């Protein structure tokens, strides 16, 4: 556990205690502890087994040291968990609004029964806050302004939503008379997991018509600013969009500039300077002469580089690879031939085996594995040995009826909190494909998480580890995985690692997937479909793979079935 994580739990504890009206000295003690942990050069998590060592940290007495121990060993502070039960999350969120400290948040919670930011907005709009003791009209107005900021800032939107909006609007603006071309740039074009805002570029001689059309678009809820060539609008859910209208001869330069990332652009500008050139959103210039700008390709070429795919533009290894003309030929959606993770009505899916198989065929898949949940996931109607065997018999019957696709008898087997697998070896031995996953106890200490993952990897029956960290983007941090150890073990035992294509998972992430590829570990990109339409999520897994620099050859389920079969351990 990182110091920052430990510190933030104590900070939250202090906030909640203060909202609760606890003794100010106690509150201060937790705040001081949080600061001391954050400032410590040593890993407090590593010190945690030694109570005396912990007590040497400034401001940490025995009581606090014991709490740190509990947190590191169990992943939680019981007192904090309890407070979280008592005080709604929205009350903590209120404190991010400038001018709203714990005291005011507490008053709003206790006196007006405000539990969420939505409640807060309603109360402010209904003029209920101004009358509250210690508040007044001015505070109420500050709250309303702050709410708007708090809601739009810091809220990032999943790529699936951002891209859908960008594509929809781009397609519409493209219809404007006089508009030649519209394209999304920014993080959306780089296929980042989430987008802070959208950046659209249009080629047009006259910006009036296209800006009017944007303002009138059904997804646009308001115009925030409008200038000669720039317009910023608000979409639903607080997502904002920048439109820039550029002339044709600058389009490549603008596209390059606004695609970013900032880090990539800094390096590209440095390379321009090195050659006595100047790069900006209008073009690449030698003195006043524009030497490139119409297309991205000509800009990169003028800087002695091949065109670099947007997914790689993070200033990681793309420049080194581009210089050697060794950029990978990135995987495409069309390369995928199989999907090895999906659910049916036997557990928590919405479609039958046959319906999933027929749907998979329409998405172009040649083989699938049906991987319903194992018994531990009772919430999702997970299967015990008996039900699983009956389910597999049903799969065999469906195989007789459905042609043109290979259907594997699989299972998504939980790796239990105590590091046993949820199904016995003799059952797993009968499967064609086993994807092992962590679902419960994600906040266990690193050692236990690794014990669990290693047990699964060493099992002769496990083919792949699914969504290896279990994170949910923007919602839940994943397990504290030691990736060095995981990758080494996966490589040693020939176990595949999954990029789960679900837009909220995308787990492995881009950096982890690149590291797995570097070790020669076969990667599978799976949709984890729970319905017939779930297969459409594959594109997001592919984007993550592209950001990792993966080629089709790096991804096992791009292979034709006979070759994929050879990679199986059984
Ligand atoms: P986001 O919106 O947070 O998901 O991420 P981006 O990458 O879309 O960032 P955004 O919308 O602030 O800006 C779009 C691109 O424009 C960014 O990737 C690089 C470029 N850009 C924006 N501001 C600056 C800047 O101050 N300096 C440089 N070098 N580039 C910038
Ligand atoms: Ca952006
Ligand atoms: Ca922007």
Summarised one tens digit per residue, pLDDT across range 373-428 is 999 998 899 999 999 999 999 999 999 999 999 999 999 999 999 999 999 999 99
**What's the CA-to-centroid distance between 190 and ligand 2, angstroms?**
10
Q: What is the pLDDT of residues 195-245, one digit of tens each?
A: 999 999 999 988 999 999 999 999 999 999 999 999 999 998 779 999 999
286-301 burial, b for 16+ CB within 10 Å, e for fewer? eeeeebbbbebebbbe
Sheet holding 278-280, edge to edge: 278-280, 283-286, 289-292
* pLDDT of 55 above 70: yes
Look at residue 320 in the predicted model and tell me its pLDDT.
98
* pLDDT of 536 above 60: yes
Look at residue 176 in the predicted model and tell me its pLDDT.
96
Which residue owns the Cα nearest ligand 1 atom 16?
A: 258
Q: What is the pLDDT of residues 315-360, one digit of tens each?
A: 999 999 999 999 999 999 999 999 999 999 999 999 999 999 999 9
Residue 315 beta carbon below 6 angstroms from any ligand 1 atom = no
Which residue owns the Cα nearest ligand 1 atom 31?
A: 262
**Count of residues making up the chain:** 570
Dihedral angle over CA of 29, 33, 36, 39, nearest 10: -130
* pLDDT of 555 above 80: yes
Spatial distance between the Cα atoms of 406 and 530, rounded to a whole number of angstroms: 19
Tell me: domain 157-245, CATH 3.40.50.1820, correct?
no
Alpha helices by DSSP H, 475-537 = 483-493, 510-518
Q: Which atom of ligand 1 is nearest to the CA of 266?
A: 29
Fold that domain 333-565 belongs to in CATH = TIM Barrel (3.20.20)
Spatial distance between the Cα atoms of 399 and 404, rounded to a whole number of angstroms: 10
Identify the CATH homologous superfamily for domain 3-153: DNA polymerase beta, N-terminal domain-like (1.10.150.110)
Report the DSSP pairing between strands 230-235 and 433-437.
unpaired
* pLDDT of 246 above 60: yes
- Are 536 and 544 spatial neighbours (Cβ–Cβ below 8 Å)? no
**What's the CA-to-centroid distance between 471 and ligand 1, angstroms?**
26
Local structure of residue 372 (DSSP, 8 states):
P
Of the listed ranges 46-50, 67-71, 123-127, 369-373, the least confidently predicted one is 46-50
CA–CA–CA angle 269, 274, 280 (5° rounding): 25
Spatial distance between the Cα atoms of 443 and 103, rounded to a whole number of angstroms: 31
Q: What is the pLDDT of residues 348-358, one digit of tens each?
A: 999 999 999 99
Residue 186 beta carbon below 6 angstroms from any ligand 1 atom = yes
**What's the CA-to-centroid distance between 332 and ligand 1, angstroms?**
26
Which candidate, 368, 374, 380, places its Cα nearest to that of 535?
Answer: 368
Cβ-proximal residues to 278 (8 Å cutoff; 6+ apart), any chain: 272, 284, 285, 286
Which of 262, 268, 273, 278 is the pocket-test mutation for ligand 1 (most atoms within 8 Å of CB)? 262
Q: Taking residues 151-173, what's their average pLDDT?
A: 88
Cα 336 to chain centroid, rounded: 22
363-399 burial, b for 16+ CB within 10 Å, e for fewer? bebbbbbbbbbbbbbeebbbbebebbeebbebbeebb
524-549 burial, b for 16+ CB within 10 Å, e for fewer? bbbbbbbbbebbebbbbbbbbbbbbb
Which residue owns the Cα nearest ligand 1 atom 20?
A: 258
Q: Specify the DSSP element, H or E, that contains 397.
A: helix 385-401
* Residues linked to residue 225 through DSSP beta bridges, in sequence order: 232
**What's the CA-to-centroid distance between 183 and ligand 2, angstroms?**
13
Residue 260 beta carbon below 6 angstroms from any ligand 1 atom = yes
Q: Which atom of ligand 1 is nearest to the CA of 156?
A: 4
Residue 258 beta carbon below 6 angstroms from any ligand 1 atom = yes
Q: Which pair of structure tokens corresponds to residue 316?
A: 């990681």
Mean pLDDT for all residues in the chain = 94
Q: What is the pLDDT of residues 449-476, one digit of tens each?
A: 999 999 999 999 999 999 999 999 987 8
CA–CA–CA angle 495, 498, 503 (5° rounding): 170
Look at residue 474 in the predicted model and tell me its pLDDT.
83
Q: Which atom of ligand 1 is nearest to the CA of 242?
A: 11
Residue 195 beta carbon below 6 angstroms from any ligand 1 atom = yes
Look at residue 45 in the predicted model and tell me its pLDDT.
87
HSE-CB for 386 with a 13 A CA cutoff: 0
User: In which residue are the tokens 């652009």 written?
Assistant: 265
Residue 310 beta carbon below 6 angstroms from any ligand 1 atom = no
Look at residue 152 in the predicted model and tell me its pLDDT.
56
Q: Which pair of structure tokens corresponds to residue 406?
A: 């290979």
User: Domain residues of the chain, as ranges?
Assistant: 3-153, 157-245, 250-323, 333-565
Residue 314 beta carbon below 6 angstroms from any ligand 1 atom = no
Which of 265, 271, 308 is the pocket-test mutation for ligand 1 (most atoms within 8 Å of CB)? 265
* pLDDT of 149 above 70: no
Which residue owns the Cα nearest ligand 1 atom 23?
A: 262
In percent, how much of the chain has pLDDT > 90?
A: 82
Cβ-proximal residues to 18 (8 Å cutoff; 6+ apart), any chain: 24, 27, 102, 103, 106
Spatial distance between the Cα atoms of 148 and 326, rounded to a whole number of angstroms: 46
Q: Which ligand is in closest contact with the Cα of 198?
A: 2
- What percent of the residues of the chain are helix, what percent strand, and what percent coil, each to the nearest 5? 50, 15, 35
**What's the CA-to-centroid distance between 552 and ligand 1, angstroms?**
30
Which of 186, 238, 256 is the pocket-test mutation for ligand 1 (most atoms within 8 Å of CB)? 186
Local structure of residue 507 (DSSP, 8 states):
B
Residue 95's pLDDT band (cuts 50, 70, 90): confident
- Are 249 and 290 spatial neighbours (Cβ–Cβ below 8 Å)? yes
- From first CA to last CA, the distance across the chain in angstroms is 37
* Residues linked to residue 368 through DSSP beta bridges, in sequence order: 339, 407
Look at residue 146 in the predicted model and tell me its pLDDT.
82
Look at residue 570 in the predicted model and tell me its pLDDT.
58
User: Is the fold of 157-245 the same as that of 333-565?
Assistant: no
Tell me: domain 250-323, CATH 3.30.210.10, correct?
yes
**What's the CA-to-centroid distance between 296 and ligand 3, angstroms?**
19
Which residue owns the Cα nearest ligand 1 atom 1?
A: 196
Spatial distance between the Cα atoms of 143 and 137, rounded to a whole number of angstroms: 10
Residue 268 beta carbon below 6 angstroms from any ligand 1 atom = no
Residue 197 beta carbon below 6 angstroms from any ligand 1 atom = yes
Look at residue 101 in the predicted model and tell me its pLDDT.
85
- Are 370 and 395 spatial neighbours (Cβ–Cβ below 8 Å)? yes
Which candidate, 303, 412, 290, places its Cα nearest to that of 349?
Answer: 412
Spatial distance between the Cα atoms of 43 and 168, rounded to a whole number of angstroms: 48
Spatial distance between the Cα atoms of 404 and 382, rounded to a whole number of angstroms: 29
């Amino acid at each position: 556990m990182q110091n920052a994580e430990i510190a933030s739990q104590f900070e939250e504890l202090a906030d909640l205690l203060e909202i609760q009206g606890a003794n100010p000295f106690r509150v201060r003690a937790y705040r001081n502890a949080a600061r001391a942990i954050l400032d410590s050069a040593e890993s407090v998590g590593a010190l945690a087994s030694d109570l005396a060592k912990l007590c040497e940290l400034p401001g940490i007495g025995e009581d606090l040291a014991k709490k740190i121990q509990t947190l590191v060993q169990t992943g939680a502070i019981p007192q904090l968990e309890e407070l979280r039960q008592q005080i709604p999350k929205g009350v903590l969120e209120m404190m991010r609004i400038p001018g709203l400290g714990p005291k005011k948040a507490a008053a709003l919670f206790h006196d007006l029964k405000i539990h969420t930011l939505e409640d807060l907005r309603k109360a402010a709009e209904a003029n209920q806050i101004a009358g509250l003791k210690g508040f007044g009209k001015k505070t109420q107005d500050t709250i309303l302004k702050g709410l708007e900021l708090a809601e739009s800032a810091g809220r990032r939107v999943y790529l699936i939503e951002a891209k859908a909006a960008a594509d929809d609007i781009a397609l519409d603006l493209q219809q404007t008379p006089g508009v030649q071309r519209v394209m999304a740039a920014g993080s959306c074009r780089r296929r980042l997991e989430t987008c802070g805002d959208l950046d659209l570029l249009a080629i047009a001689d006259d910006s009036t018509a296209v800006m009017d059309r944007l303002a009138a678009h059904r997804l646009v809820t308001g115009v925030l600013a409008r200038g000669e060539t720039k317009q910023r609008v608000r979409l639903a859910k607080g997502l904002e969009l920048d439109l820039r209208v550029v002339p044709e001869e600058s389009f490549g330069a603008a596209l390059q500039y606004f695609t970013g990332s900032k880090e990539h652009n800094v390096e590209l500008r440095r390379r321009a300077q090195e050659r006595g050139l100047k790069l900006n959103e209008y073009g690449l210039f030698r003195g006043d002469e524009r030497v490139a700008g119409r297309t991205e390709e000509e800009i990169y070429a003028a800087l002695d580089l091949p065109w670099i795919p947007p997914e790689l533009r993070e200033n990681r290894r793309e420049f080194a690879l581009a210089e050697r003309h060794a950029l990978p030929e990135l995987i495409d959606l069309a390369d995928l031939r199989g999907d090895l993770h999906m659910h049916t009505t036997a557990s928590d899916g919405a479609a039958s085996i046959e319906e999933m198989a027929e749907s998979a065929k329409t998405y172009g898949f040649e083989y699938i594995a049906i991987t319903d949940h194992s018994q531990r996931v009772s919430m999702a109607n997970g299967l015990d040995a008996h039900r699983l065997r009956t389910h597999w018999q049903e799969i065999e019957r469906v195989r007789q009826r459905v042609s043109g696709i290979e259907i594997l008898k699989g299972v998504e087997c939980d790796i239990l909190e105590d590091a046993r697998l949820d199904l016995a070896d003799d059952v797993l031995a009968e499967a064609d494909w086993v994807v092992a996953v962590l679902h419960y106890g994600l906040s266990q200490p690193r050692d236990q998480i690794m014990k669990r993952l290693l047990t699964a990897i060493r099992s002769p029956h496990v083919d792949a580890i699914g969504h290896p960290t279990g994170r949910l983007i923007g919602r839940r941090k994943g397990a504290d995985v030691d990736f060095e150890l995981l990758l080494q073990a996966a490589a040693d035992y020939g176990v595949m690692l999954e990029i789960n294509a679900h837009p909220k998972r995308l787990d492995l992430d881009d950096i982890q997937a690149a590291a797995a590829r570097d070790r020669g570990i076969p990667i599978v990109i799976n949709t984890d479909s729970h319905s017939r339409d779930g297969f459409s999520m594959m594109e997001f897994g592919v984007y993550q793979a592209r950001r990792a620099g993966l080629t089709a050859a790096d991804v096992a389920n791009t292979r034709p079935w006979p070759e994929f079969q050879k990679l199986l351990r059984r």
